[in-house]
Amino acid sequence: MLALAAGLLAASPALADTRSQLDAAKADLARAQQAADRAVAVWNAAETRLGETEAEIANTRVQIGQLQAHVSRIQTRLEKRAVLAFENGPASTIDVLLSSGSFSEFSDRLEFLGNMQQSDSDLVVEQRVATEQLQRERADLAVLAERQTQATAEAQSAAQKASSLVAQVQSKVNDLTAKYRQELALAHQADLLGQRTIPGAAIATCPVRGPNSFVDSFGWPRPGGRIHEGIDMISPFGTPVVAVQPGRAEAHPNTLGGNAVIVFGPGGDFTYYAHLSSYGQMGSVSVGTVVGYVGSTGDTNVNHLHFEYHPGGGGAVDPYNALRAVC
């Protein structure tokens, strides 16, 4: 494609400066891509912190519930002891001691009454300790809630920044491709972005046909005790999503992934594409067939493609290096 572009430039003196413009634009794109990748890394890290904080909040709430029940039980016991003391009065204690038949019995009763008083004191101390611990847990919950708010804001800010940077990449690409004929636009985009096709590879082409940014977030923790089983590729809304292997494409919408597609490929392999804004071609597809478009459906508010690779139909494996080879 560069050879074709060079031919077009040589044929038109009016476009003599296009080569330098193209080189400068590629350098700008590379810098924008690096900034977008950093922003995506921040977004994934913020999502992880948010998930961890939500787990801590859930655990703290359980601790608070247990402590509240414990304090309530102690309070009930103290109230019962207070009622008994009021009903019996202080005179009953003297009666118990004076009615002893011997000094030994008097001593035993005195020790028993002392133990009862000590038990009351222990209950009061236990109540104070439990109440203080309950206050600390509530204070911890307030701190965690603030951390949750901060982590949510950080995740949203990072996602917006990454989306903005990727949009800038898209704008630069559009400015350049507008100089060429319409039928060359996609090819020039792929060249400018360094995207390529590797015939026969398990992941033969980049699943996002346009500007995108991603880091290796495979295996990172997610809310609810899940782990991330794919790679999140931030890209502008509506960017084409293509099959990375030949096979049969089927729509598989779900709560978590929103509009999702599974392409069942050769040898039992399948690839998964989630959060699509809409579907493309279903049924028989080849490498590069558009199966959907980038969106934010399902459990997300960020325009991106969640991509998974399942060799042999088994569990997901990290596709990061394979994606880097073609994206």
pLDDT on residue 38: 81
- pTM listed for this prediction: 0.59
Predicted confidence (pLDDT) per residue in 18-35, tens digit: 556 666 767 777 777 787
Q: Domain 195-326 maps to which CATH number in 2.40.260.10, 3.30.70.100, 2.70.70.10, 3.40.50.9100?
A: 2.70.70.10
Q: Dihedrals φ, ψ of 212, to 5°?
A: -160, 165
Structural domain boundaries of the chain? 24-165, 195-326
User: pLDDT > 70: what percent of the chain?
Assistant: 62
pLDDT on residue 234: 95
Q: Please say whether the structural domain 24-165 has been given the CATH code 1.10.287.
A: yes
pLDDT exceeds 80 at position 156: no
pLDDT exceeds 50 at position 276: yes
Predicted confidence (pLDDT) per residue in 200-230, tens digit: 999 999 999 999 999 999 999 887 778 889 9
Go through the chain and tell me how many residues it has: 327
d(CA 188, CA 204): 19
Residue by residue, DSSP assigns 226-266 as EE--SEEEE--TT-EEE-SSSEEEEE--BTTTBEEEEEE-G
